[in-house]
Structure 1
């Protein structure tokens, strides 16, 4: 990377974490919540509606069944989410940064699990000798429940980080996300 490319990239990341932080976080939250809703919909299809596992594909998986079977798509989403959590990290500080870091750390592990699934799908090797690709924790917890759990434990601290960040005093934040505070009369 040339010096100019590095400077441009740095300026872009700085803008993303300052004047465009609120917009970036909003768009990211919409995508993450929609993805989480897909996992919730799949669990509802199985446990509330009594659908068989192959038929329970969430909302988008019903018209597009390949989505549920594509390890490339699942890994792609996991890596994009990891990259965005990393890129948007510098816009957080204090308690909000701690919550964001927690989401980032959990997503890093979730990404490792998806990388392991992708490697197995591409090579034919199977962790634990099973018939289908399996992640490490999936050796103990079924895939649907595990991925709903992973998405839940990444999404919740991410949302908490955003709420804490938005409520930070304007002088505690580098971006425009903070909600203006109305002074309380004494």
Structure 2
């Protein structure tokens, strides 16, 4: 019986969290920061410029209002965040993985809230008989403020994770499969 040598390329997840981790992490963080910029623009429109909520749509929403009002767009971003946090997770080690996991856990809930909003938008059924799609925590806080809060509590541990990932301890550095770490300090 002849033995076959099977040479397969490593799975995409391995490359994603190995040689390509830095590239994909940078792309992911660019998307996250661009999303933050939209929330900050909306906050400035509301609280600095005094625009009415129906006009304070962020930059993209002002240029193309259906993008802001689409639950599909909001859900798509929440799903993209969840996928990015899961897909890039294995590239993190030690304390950076702990912080990344915290961000991931919070995003699971944030994603659920957006899924609930999407279902309501698609079915016409609204939580607590509200006139518009409403998330669970939106029963207690206005939507704009709530989403600023959600994005902050996902973003802060994510940034801590990235900083710790770029500045790992010697033990964490030896366990890393990627090239994200900055040169070790003398």
Give 5+ residue unaligned stretches, structure 1. 1-6
How many residue pairs were aligned?
176
* SS of aligned partner of 1:53: coil
Aligned partner of 1:171 in structure 2 is 174
- Give the whole-Å Cα distance in 2 for the aligned partners of 1:120 and 1:65: 20
Equivalence map 1:23-102=2 (5 Å): 23-102=23-102
> CA RMSD of the aligned region, Å?
1.3
* SS of aligned partner of 2:60: coil
Q: Calculate the TM-score normalised by the size of structure 1.
A: 0.91
* SS of aligned partner of 2:11: helix
> 1:172 Cα deviation (Å)?
3.6
- Give the whole-Å Cα distance in 2 for the aligned partners of 1:63 and 1:41: 13
Moved over 6 A (4+): none
Equivalence map 1:3-14=2 (5 Å): 11-14=11-14
Which digits, 9 at most, give the CA deviation of each residue in 1:121-174, with x for residues without a partner? 011101011100000000110001111111111111111101100101432422
- Give the whole-Å Cα distance in 2 for the aligned partners of 1:19 and 1:129: 50
Q: Calculate the TM-score normalised by the size of structure 2.
A: 0.91
- Give the whole-Å Cα distance in 2 for the aligned partners of 1:176 and 1:95: 17
* SS of aligned partner of 2:24: helix
Give 5+ residue unaligned stretches, structure 2. 1-7
- Give the whole-Å Cα distance in 2 for the aligned partners of 1:149 and 1:78: 14
- Give the whole-Å Cα distance in 1 for the aligned partners of 2:153 and 2:66: 26
Aligned partner of 2:22 in structure 1 is 22
